[in-house]
């Protein structure tokens, strides 16, 4: 088969083979050397025959399997992968399951407890001074008993129930906080990779433009209208552009590894951002966002719950001094454990009151330790509140600033593009020198990367404000995801 003339038929060897014989007939072999059909090419029915042949080929090609097209991942795709594999989130969920076991454990201290004992042993009894005489005998004995204890009053058990509920709520807020942090980390890694790839694309453009200027400088030198200094200057700028490209590629590799660490697999191609209108914080009131953060931030809720738990721990340790009241019932059976051939049966019930007067100072030590931890929890709450307030204010100001920064970067990019084009045209006609052309090219490259960075920074500023206020949800990721280009889109950034 002539692969160069008929490249598209190559996958169909097993279905269709054809040759041209010496009599200029088209020989079609169906299958593996199966039925040969000799069709003269130059017969009066050649046109009709060729049409039939094309129809056969079309049907055969339509039956061929088509390789699936692997599309690029969007932000939600990446987040779902990270959510399914993130060890921090899995650890928090496991801790939540463990904390839920605290409720039945606390309740068990107020419920009946039934225990049973059974034993058998070898005894020796040596008894003297009895009216019946001296007893010295080896024998086997066995005993069985069952004990039922029903707590009536246990001060520590009641506190432990409240502590169990707060432990569960604390861990639930931890899961929410870890989930929000994961969303923020995925967004940072996603747009960090886009920024790194944009930097690489800009660096590649810089190399091409610098190479163009270098070629023009050499051409002018050969034509006698240039000088060697201009060539060397252009060459130096070209080498610098290539060095920047190497650094840009390294940054892309690092950004890919960062995102790959989150999703625990190799990074596919990801969708870039389409043109959009930047949006500021809604509402445009810093105090409203701070109030929302102080009310909704899960880290702050967790700190408040830890203060409550610390206070409950003090109460729990103090209640160890309280008396405990239990109702106990026991039934026992003993054969031979006291005297040979003597069976002892006992059934009794009683109300037992226990009061711990002195336990070696452990109660006071535990109470002091709990009090110190409570003070630490209150200080940590204040620190967390201050930190969240600052983070929210900073994120609010950053988002407002990102809008003007993005608009300024857009205008600067357009100005740099106009200046570069004008300078390059002036250089081509000899009114501007190579240094001017190189400088304008560098300025344009810098402004282009600055615009792309401002674009991604604005999106991340939205996420940061929601995350700082504790309001970040999957809907926010869906909103950001709607800003991405659709698969196959060719839209450029504004």
Tens-digit pLDDT profile for residues 212-257: 888 878 887 888 777 888 788 888 888 988 999 999 999 999 999 9
Give the distance from CA 207 to its chain's centroid: 36
Q: Which helix (H) or strand (E) holds 38?
A: strand 36-40
Q: Give the residue-averaged pLDDT of 418-431.
A: 85
Structure-model confidence comparison of residues 458 and 12, the more confident one: 458
- Residue 339 has a pLDDT of 64
Angle between helix 155-223 and helix 298-318 axes, rounded to 10 deg: 150
CA distance 234 to 192: 32
Contact predicate 335/143, CB 8 Å = yes
Bridging pattern class, strands 324-335 and 135-153: antiparallel
CA distance 402 to 457: 7
CA distance 462 to 426: 43
Structure-model confidence comparison of residues 337 and 354, the more confident one: 354
Continuous H helices in 264-361:
286-296, 298-318
| 148-152, 368-372, 390-394, 422-426: least confidently modelled range | 422-426
| 2-6, 348-352, 455-459: least confidently modelled range | 2-6
- 84 burial level (CB within 10 Å; 0-12, 13-18, 19+): exposed
Residue ranges of the domains in the chain?
A: 7-62, 76-105+177-315+363-481, 110-156+321-361
pLDDT bracket for residue 18 (50, 70, 90): very low
For 91-111, how does the pLDDT look when each residue is reduced to its tens digit (9 = 90+)? 999 999 999 999 999 999 999
**Residue 165 is encoded by which pair of tokens?**
């509920």
Contact predicate 193/248, CB 8 Å = no
**Residue 87 is encoded by which pair of tokens?**
């060890």
Helix (H, G, I), strand (E, B), or coil: what is residue 3?
coil
**Residue 360 is encoded by which pair of tokens?**
């070696």
Tell whether the model's pLDDT for residue 10 goes beyond 50.
no
- Tell me the CA distances in angstroms from 432 to 139, 199, 217, 424, one per residue in order: 120, 28, 12, 8
For 308-322, how does the pLDDT look when each residue is reduced to its tens digit (9 = 90+)? 999 999 999 999 999
Q: CB under 8 Å to 312, separation ≥6 — which residues?
A: 159, 162, 163, 166
**Residue 101 is encoded by which pair of tokens?**
């076991």
Pick one of 3.40.47.10, 1.20.1600.10, 3.30.1330.10, 2.40.30.170 as the CATH number of 76-105+177-315+363-481: 1.20.1600.10
Predicted TM-score (pTM) of the model is 0.75
Q: What are phi and psi of 484, to 5 degrees?
A: -85, 155
Structure-model confidence comparison of residues 354 and 48, the more confident one: 354
| CATH topology assigned to domain 110-156+321-361 | Outer membrane efflux proteins (OEP) (2.20.200)
N-to-C CA span, the chain:
50
Q: CB under 8 Å to 438, separation ≥6 — which residues?
A: 210, 213, 233, 234, 237
User: Which of 30-34, 115-119, 208-212 has the largest mean confidence?
Assistant: 115-119
- Taking Cα atoms as reference points, which of 104, 92, 118 lies closest to residue 170? 92
CA distance 462 to 282: 10
CA distance 248 to 446: 13
pLDDT bracket for residue 144 (50, 70, 90): very high
Contact predicate 143/118, CB 8 Å = yes
Dihedral class, residue 29 (left if φ above 0, else alpha if ψ from -120 to 50, else beta): beta
- Tell me the CA distances in angstroms from 204 to 54, 288, 445, one per residue in order: 45, 45, 10
């Amino acid at each position: 088969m002539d692969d160069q003339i008929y490249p598209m038929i190559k996958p169909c060897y097993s279905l269709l083979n054809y040759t041209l014989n010496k009599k200029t007939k088209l020989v079609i072999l169906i299958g593996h050397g199966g039925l040969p059909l000799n069709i003269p090419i130059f017969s009066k029915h050649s046109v009709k025959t060729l049409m039939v042949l094309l129809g056969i080929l079309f049907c055969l090609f339509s039956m061929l399997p088509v390789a699936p097209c692997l599309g690029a991942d969007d932000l939600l795709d990446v987040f779902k992968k990270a959510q399914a594999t993130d060890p921090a989130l899995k650890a928090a969920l496991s801790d939540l399951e463990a904390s839920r076991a605290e409720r039945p454990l606390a309740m068990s201290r107020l419920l009946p407890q039934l225990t049973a004992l059974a034993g058998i042993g070898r005894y020796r009894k040596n008894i003297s001074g009895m009216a019946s005489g001296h007893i010295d005998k080896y024998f086997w004995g066995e005993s069985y008993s069952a004990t039922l204890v029903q707590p009536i009053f246990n001060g520590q058990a009641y506190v432990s129930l409240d502590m169990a509920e707060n432990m569960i709520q604390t861990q639930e807020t931890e899961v929410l906080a870890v989930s929000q942090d994961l969303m923020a980390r995925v967004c940072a890694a996603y747009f960090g990779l886009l920024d790194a790839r944009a930097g690489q694309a800009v660096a590649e453009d810089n190399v091409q433009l610098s190479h163009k200027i270098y070629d023009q400088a050499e051409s002018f030198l050969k034509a006698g209208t240039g000088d060697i200094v201009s060539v060397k200057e252009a060459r130096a700028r070209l080498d610098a552009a290539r060095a920047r490209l190497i650094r840009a590629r390294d940054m892309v590799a690092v950004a890919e590894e960062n995102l790959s660490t989150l999703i625990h697999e190799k990074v596919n191609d990801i969708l870039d951002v389409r043109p959009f209108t930047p949006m500021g914080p809604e509402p445009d009131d810093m105090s409203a966002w701070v109030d929302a953060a102080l009310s909704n931030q899960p880290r702050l809720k967790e700190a408040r719950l830890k203060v409550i738990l610390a206070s409950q721990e003090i109460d729990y340790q103090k209640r160890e001094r309280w008396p405990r009241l239990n109702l106990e019932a026991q039934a026992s059976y003993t054969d031979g454990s006291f005297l040979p051939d003597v069976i002892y049966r006992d059934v009794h019930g009683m109300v037992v009151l226990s009061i711990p007067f002195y336990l070696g100072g452990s109660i006071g030590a535990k109470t002091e330790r709990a009090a110190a931890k409570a003070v630490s929890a209150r200080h940590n709450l204040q620190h967390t509140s201050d930190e969240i307030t600052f983070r929210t204010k900073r994120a609010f100001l950053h988002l407002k600033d990102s809008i003007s920064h993005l608009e300024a970067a857009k205008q600067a990019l357009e100005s740099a593009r106009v200046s570069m084009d004008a300078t390059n045209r002036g250089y081509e006609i000899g009114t501007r020198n190579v240094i001017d052309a190189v400088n304008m090219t560098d300025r344009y490259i810098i402004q282009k990367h600055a615009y792309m960075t401002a674009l991604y920074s604005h999106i991340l500023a939205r996420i940061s404000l929601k995350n700082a206020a504790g309001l970040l949800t999957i809907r926010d990721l869906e909103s950001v995801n709607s800003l991405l280009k659709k698969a196959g889109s060719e839209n450029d950034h504004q």
